[in-house]
Structure 1
Amino acid sequence: MTRLVVVSNRVSIPEEGKPQAGGLAVAITGALSEHGGLWFGWDGRVKQVPSNRPSVVTRDNIDYATLSLSKEDYDNYYLGFANEVLWPVFHFNLGAMDFQLDHVKAYSRVNARFAEALVTLVQGDELIWVHDYHLLPLGKELRERGIRQPLGFFLHIPFPSFDLLRALPCYRELLEDLLHYDLVGFQTENDRHAFHEALVETFDATLEGDNVIDCLGHRLRTGVYPVGIDVDEAIAEAEHAITQAPACQFQADLGKRDLIIGADRLDYSKGLVQRFNAIETLLTHFKHRRQRTIFMQIASPSRSAIPEYDELRRQLEGMAGHINGTYADIDWLPVHYLNQTYAHADLMGLFRAARVGLVTPLRDGMNLVCKEFVAAQDPDDPGVLVLSDLAGAARELSGALLVNPYDVHDITSAIERALNMPRDERRQRYREMIDVLRRNSLLTWRQRFIDDLAQQAG
């Protein structure tokens, strides 16, 4: 079996006695264990003078090779270009873009540095799988250093429409960077179509069928690979969590009240402001929901060094205080806003207890929280998923109540419909969605991409 090399911005090195950070890390580790291989990327550390020689740790048959970043590169490559330019543009938020030439230079410099270190570790017969927007130019940098192995790239976030993309001063260079991969994968067909359109409009590329592109002397294949979850593991975790003391106490405190839950990383792309406005509208126009409904929003801290994120945190704290100050009673607090990170098992227990899962990003590549919410439900008495139709997952989960995340009244109406939904309809919607999750599982996503990349070796 061909050795696999995975490259990502961050590397998750397993530690004995500690669970891995997220299902995606588990899937990648599983692929590497199956094939034998290397996981390469940033170790999450910032050093004054980082070494250009990667640190290598071996666990079983997997080598974990990492580099540190300098403070300048962390500020300009990671916070600057990746998260203040690419992230907002790819999430359709041009107003949050802060384009600076120093950031572009750092982005190129770090990708070149990663490539320089990686070529010392590859052996010549691998499949190389690069992940996400931090590393768009890595394929070009590897090719320039003599790498001829099949190169695959998977974009976890949305790909913007051409009119949005060309607001980036360096969009032509980024598109040309992607031409050096053999296989480029996206979450949805809309994302792939936007990529095709950008190449045709910019370089007059030629499309052959649905998935082959000839452009500037390069020939590459594209594919749609929706990321999933490990359904059986998620179900087992939720079933276990709901029997534990914290979940039992929470359910006792909840009583007969209905729980509406959101769990997101604190980010302007998640539609949290509109979500809070929808909860206030629910309490204003559906007065029978007062005293009977609790909204819990978990917002894990994120990128606090970027001003927009700190401002969002303060805004949500103010909105939660306003709603509670207006509607709370001695024995009832309508909004529980938690700006903390919770263990995954605890989240699955909360999902299991909820009547409504509220997942309303303004734009999202896929969104796995909504899939975990579905998997966590009791099949006999499931809750209802209210989902943004601008999340990639909306293309799969037609059993959810789909809403426009910018339309507060649409979200409010969907919440009220969810809380009133008959049990038989809830069961039917759950069955439809859990079947989709099983077909498009995390393991299916991983294997489909690797199989398609392996075909490029011929």
Structure 2
Amino acid sequence: IQYADLWQAYCEVNEQFVHGLFQFKKEKDMVWIHDIYLLLAPFYLRKKDLNCNIGFFVQSPFPSSDVFKTCQHRIELLKSLLCSDIIGFNVYEYSRNFTAACRKILKLSSSPKKGGYVGVEYNGRTILIKVGQIRVNIEDVKKSLKTKEFSDYREHIFQMLIQPKQFLLSSVDRIHPISGIKQKLEGYQHFLRNCPNLRSKTCLMLFLLPPECENFGVEQLIASDGFSPQISFKSLDPSIFLKRNSQTRDSLNLHQNWTKDLLKNTLGDILKLVAEIQNEFGHGCLIFRQENLTQEQRCALW
């Protein structure tokens, strides 16, 4: 599969999302966009509506300017993001990387603004950069702790333990090649090998969530590896957002097959390592589940 084909498909998906949005958008509506899947959407929005009020939140880490310079379409991506009125990042480091990329790649200036914002000057406009850390709503947590679901699942967790443990480690992860699940398991395996006195006292409960790209037959993929899914996967065909030309469809099919193979290899590595740890140290050291946890269940787990 060619990089140019992937980039063309990415552009078309973004353009078609914006096209669909304008079927519902009213004149003074603010458009709020999330994450790397729609980095070009602000450009297409601004192209259709010069006065559109656009907010963009980058959920993913934004790389350093030196790393971002290696991206072939770095200028297009930066200029598209700068079509927004406000851009949010999870942590200060990512916002700093973004402003540094604007300065080094596009030669733009930035300065502090009132309210904790940073302003980037672009095409006669000031784009506000804001850091918005993820917070825990304490009141929601308190409500969850009083529910029957919390109590029942807490009891369920203890029932899953083969023997009483002094140390319970828990982890909730999504299947993804860069999610670090394999490295986490390797670290836990290293811990068990080097701390034999803690093996009988420690248990890792690893909960695996389905991947976000749910259109690649993941349910069958997991079942084929002897891992029975307990939740349903919704089917979403992204080709409905693409222009109906054969070249785009061929590129999409190639990308789907490549992604399916990548996910299958990732899951295969995880399952192999889980079995290796359980065989070496016993099933009581590692409990591996696939569940879609509610807020109450997560509170019980933590």
TM class, shorter-length: 0.7 to 0.9
Which deviations, in whole Å up to 9, do the C-alpha atoms of 1:368-388 show, x marking residues without a partner? Answer: xxxxxxxxxxxxxxxxxxxxx
**CA drift at 1:350:** 2.2
- CA contact under 8 A between 1:296 and 1:337: conserved in structure 2? yes
Which deviations, in whole Å up to 9, do the C-alpha atoms of 1:87-141 show, x marking residues without a partner? Answer: xxxxxxxxxxx86212211221122222223234333222222222112121221
- 1:230-269 to 2 correspondence within 5 Å? 230-240=137-147, 241-244=149-152, 246-252=153-159, 254=161, 256-257=164-165, 258-269=167-178
The 10-residue stretch of structure 1 (113-122 or 139-148) with the greater mean CA deviation from structure 2: 113-122
2:187 aligned with 1:278: yes
State the match for 2:274 in structure 1: 320
**CA drift at 1:269:** 2.9
* Structure 2 unaligned regions, length at least 5: 219-255
CA 1:269–1:231: 2 relative to 1, 3 Å: farther
- CA contact under 8 A between 1:180 and 1:218: conserved in structure 2? no
Say what the alpha-carbon RMSD is for the aligned residues: 2.2
Aligned-partner Cα distance in 2 for 1:250–1:143: 50
Deviating above 6 A after TM superposition, structure 1's stretches of 4 or more consecutive aligned residues are none
**CA drift at 1:217:** 4.3
- CA contact under 8 A between 2:65 and 2:101: conserved in structure 1? yes
Aligned-partner Cα distance in 1 for 2:160–2:8: 54
Q: Secondary structure at the match of 2:56?
A: strand
**CA drift at 1:147:** 4.1
State the match for 1:131 in structure 2: 34
Aligned-partner Cα distance in 2 for 1:198–1:236: 43
Aligned-partner Cα distance in 1 for 2:159–2:16: 54
Percent identical among aligned pairs is 19
Return the letter of the residue paired with 1:256. Answer: P
- CA contact under 8 A between 2:92 and 2:131: conserved in structure 1? yes
**CA drift at 1:249:** 4.3
* Structure 1 unaligned regions, length at least 5: 1-97, 352-458
2:205 aligned with 1:296: yes
2:19 aligned with 1:100: no
| TM-score normalised over the length of structure 2 | 0.75
State the match for 2:228 in structure 1: none
Return the letter of the residue paired with 1:115. Answer: V
- CA contact under 8 A between 1:203 and 1:215: conserved in structure 2? no
CA 1:247–1:120: 2 relative to 1, 3 Å: closer
Aligned-partner Cα distance in 2 for 1:205–1:104: 25
Which deviations, in whole Å up to 9, do the C-alpha atoms of 1:139-197 show, x marking residues without a partner? Answer: 22122112413211111111111122122211111111111111111111101110011
Which deviations, in whole Å up to 9, do the C-alpha atoms of 1:241-282 show, x marking residues without a partner? Answer: 3422x5324325535313211111112333212211221122
2:48 aligned with 1:145: yes
CA 1:301–1:114: 2 relative to 1, 3 Å: closer
| TM-score normalised over the length of structure 1 | 0.51
- CA contact under 8 A between 1:192 and 1:222: conserved in structure 2? yes
State the match for 1:442 in structure 2: none
Which deviations, in whole Å up to 9, do the C-alpha atoms of 1:338-369 show, x marking residues without a partner? Answer: 24434443333222xxxxxxxxxxxxxxxxxx
Q: Which has the higher contact order (CA 8 A, sep 6+)?
A: 2
State the match for 2:286 in structure 1: 335
Which deviations, in whole Å up to 9, do the C-alpha atoms of 1:30-74 show, x marking residues without a partner? Answer: xxxxxxxxxxxxxxxxxxxxxxxxxxxxxxxxxxxxxxxxxxxxx
CA 1:116–1:200: 2 relative to 1, 3 Å: same
User: How many residues are matched?
Assistant: 250
Q: Secondary structure at the match of 1:148?
A: coil
